[in-house]
Structure 1
Amino acid sequence: MPKINGNEIRPGNVLEHNDGLWAAVKVDHVKPGKGGAFAQVEMKNLRNGSKLNERFRSADKVERVRLEQKDMQFLYEDDGMLIFMDTETYDQVQVASDLLGDRRPFLQDGMTIVVEFYESEALNASVPQKVTCKIVETEPVVKGQTAANSFKPAILDNGVKVMVPPFVGQDEMIIVDTIAMEYSERA
């Protein structure tokens, strides 16, 4: 694995530090009035979710880890574990459902998502940025109401609440941005 200097750490990098795998969440480069410059790095443990703030000087060497990304197809959920199938080898992999966090409701049967592996251990998973959902409950469409930045609440078929424009009605299909957790467009 390549070693990088402490001042080369960027958000999103995965580092091996203190016998654990850490993702750099936030990096601030600090030049104090006295002493040498350093990078203040906020890190999140990829295995247990704990957080750590650490200072790295430019002379410090840290090991950068490359995660292997695979496209996996979601099959089913069993006892808090999500079962995925590798689309190339047809191997099945179990991943804890809390790995997806608040994006979990957007996971649909047969959906292909990206799972990141370190050796054979699944560390991270992400649903697609745009997902099509059906509105199951919202206020009725009112004629003559303008779409000038006014939104109304809607409940999707997966139970998630989002704000939608007034012209969108019940039983319509919409595309939801899973990163911002908001309405994107009509499907």
Structure 2
Amino acid sequence: MATSNDLKNGMVLNIEGQLWSVIEFQHVKPGKGPAFVRSKLRNVLSGKVVDKTFNAGVKVETANVDRRDMQYLYNDGSGYVFMDTTNYDQITVPSETVGDAANFMLENQMATVALHEGNPLYVELPASVVLEITYTEPGLQGDRSTGGTKPATLETGYQIQVPLFIENNTRVKVDTRTGDYLGRVSE
């Protein structure tokens, strides 16, 4: 248990049986009336964001969330298997929990897995990853200076939009939060 005065960004609260992560908070001391804490919370499982106000000093229940760096091994059909690199324990994370992160995960890649009481809550990848383009249509000569884009398939099977000058087997940097092309990577 903690009080509303102890809130910090990234802290996970257990409110009415649901886990909420603190995105931002602000202590407010109005000229009249008692102080309070205005916060923005994100539901850990659904991603829904809500605003919540706590009176100053009110007790809030914190949840113990264990964030571990794990190595993605393979997809076994029912989920994604990750290995804790410190003790070599393996866990299977369901596809629904991994979500869109699966579009950017390669075997043996490191990721952060958040666990609450042994249950995986979410998988967090680095802000950007380097992947190879396996297929894209050739760009037309003369189209290179315009700002046009074309679809390209990554080695994970996910499709993104890339500039016209990108060719097959080019390594590119991709934003894992939005799926946007960030640039070419030279070897």
TM-score tier by shorter-chain length is 0.7 to 0.9
Aligned length: 183
Q: 1:61 aligns with which of 59, 62, 65?
A: 59
RMSD value, Cα: 3.0
Match of 1:135 in 2: 133
2:124 matches 1:126: yes
Query: Deviation of residue 14 (structure 1)?
Result: 0.9
User: CA 1:128–1:43 in structure 2 vs 1: closer, same or farther (change >3 Å)?
Assistant: closer
Match of 2:46 in 1: 49
Match of 1:83 in 2: 81
Query: Deviation of residue 165 (structure 1)?
Result: 1.5
Secondary structure, aligned partner of 1:102: helix
Match of 2:38 in 1: 39
Separation (CA, whole Å) in 1 of partners of 2:23 and 2:4: 17
Q: Which runs of 5+ in 2 are unaligned?
A: none
2:4 matches 1:5: yes
**Is contact 2:37–2:56 with CA below 8 Å preserved after alignment?**
yes
Query: Deviation of residue 16 (structure 1)?
Result: 1.8
Separation (CA, whole Å) in 1 of partners of 2:95 and 2:25: 28
2:106 matches 1:108: yes
**Is contact 1:68–1:118 with CA below 8 Å preserved after alignment?**
yes
**Is contact 2:4–2:37 with CA below 8 Å preserved after alignment?**
no
Match of 2:143 in 1: 145
Match of 2:172 in 1: 174
What is the percent sequence identity of the aligned residues?
A: 32
Separation (CA, whole Å) in 1 of partners of 2:99 and 2:121: 13
Secondary structure, aligned partner of 2:62: strand
Separation (CA, whole Å) in 1 of partners of 2:169 and 2:128: 19
Separation (CA, whole Å) in 1 of partners of 2:71 and 2:176: 18
Secondary structure, aligned partner of 1:125: strand
TM-score by length of 2: 0.77
Separation (CA, whole Å) in 1 of partners of 2:173 and 2:42: 32
**Is contact 1:15–1:65 with CA below 8 Å preserved after alignment?**
yes
**Is contact 2:20–2:41 with CA below 8 Å preserved after alignment?**
no
TM-score by length of 1: 0.77
**Is contact 1:26–1:43 with CA below 8 Å preserved after alignment?**
no
User: CA 1:38–1:71 in structure 2 vs 1: closer, same or farther (change >3 Å)?
Assistant: closer
